[in-house]
Amino acid sequence: MTTRYKLQEQIRRRLAMGDPSSSFMPAPEEVMEAINQVINANLKTQFYTETLAGGETVPEGHVLAYYENVTVTAWNGISKSVLPAFPVKLPRNMGVYSITKTNDPFTNFIPVPMGQIGFVQAQRGMSDLLGQVGYEVRGKEVWYNKNLTTQSPAVTQVNMQLVVMDISRYNDYEPLPVQADMEDLIIEQVVAKWMGQPKKPKVNDPSTDRV
């Protein structure tokens, strides 16, 4: 589980190892803000507003986060993925905003209501969805209406956009909407913000110089 507090502790520990000077160490709130900035940059977040079918709007404070190269695996004659993060719960699973092939980011897969993938599969003429890919969201899994891994070319990864809370709105101990393998990248990039800064020049005392 990746939390802002966990990241902050690891980042400050790394910085202390690089330069133990207390004057070099950024304050915890500075590190937290840098974590927000780096996560937003890596997830390519953008503010999200949507008017739902009933006319109500999605509350403010949500963003679209972009996740690349999410793994697709074969499963029981079709295929599935595990969501890289938990999206905001919205009607009709709109928290999963879009799914595309990695090499075709402009053609969205078709969302299918929960429990309907099996029905679509059983209907002659519908199962192919006119050649397009359908998906159903179940918990943290996404089920596709076909085995993408056996297509030509095989689809073993997809890109996703999920609706999540604005990164700054997560408290320090809530799980952040980032993949586990992104932790190291976040730490490295935040550490680099300070490690790349010039150190204070050393002041020489002429009285100590040897003749």
Looking at the structure of the chain, the number of domains it has is: 2
Q: Which of 48-52, 112-116, 159-163 has the highest mean pLDDT?
A: 159-163
**From CA 135, how far away is CA 144, in angstroms rounded?**
4
Element holding 17 (H helix, E strand): helix 4-18
Range of the domain at 133: 65-163
My answer on whether omega of the bond before 153 falls inside 30° of 0, hence cis, is: yes
Regarding whether 112 and 34 lie in a shared domain, the answer is no
CA distances from 142 to 60, 67, 90, 130, 135 (A): 26, 14, 16, 20, 6
Q: Looking at the structure, do residues 98 and 142 belong to the same domain, yes or no?
A: yes
Phi/psi of residue 202, nearest 5 degrees: -75, 130
Please tell me whether residues 13 and 38 are part of one structural domain: yes
Render pLDDT for 50-108 as a digit per residue (tens, 0 to 9).
766 666 566 678 899 999 999 999 998 899 999 999 999 888 788 999 999 999 988 89
pLDDT band at 34 (very low <50, low <70, confident <90, very high): very high
Q: Which pTM was predicted?
A: 0.80
Q: Are residues 88 and 109 in the same domain?
A: yes
* CB 7 within 8 Å of CB 178: no
Quick one: how many helices (H) and strands (E) in the chain?
4, 9
Task: Point out the least confidently predicted range of 87-91, 121-125, 157-161.
Answer: 121-125
Least confident segment among 62-71, 115-124, 153-162, 174-183? 115-124
Q: Are residues 147 and 172 in the same domain?
A: no
Q: Is 194 within 8 Å of 24 (Cβ atoms)?
A: yes
* pLDDT of 172 higher than 80: yes
pLDDT attached to residue 25: 80
Phi-psi domain of 104 (left: phi exceeds 0; alpha: psi -120 through 50; beta: other): beta
Residues 109 and 174 in one domain: no
- Please report the pLDDT score of residue 109 as a whole number: 94
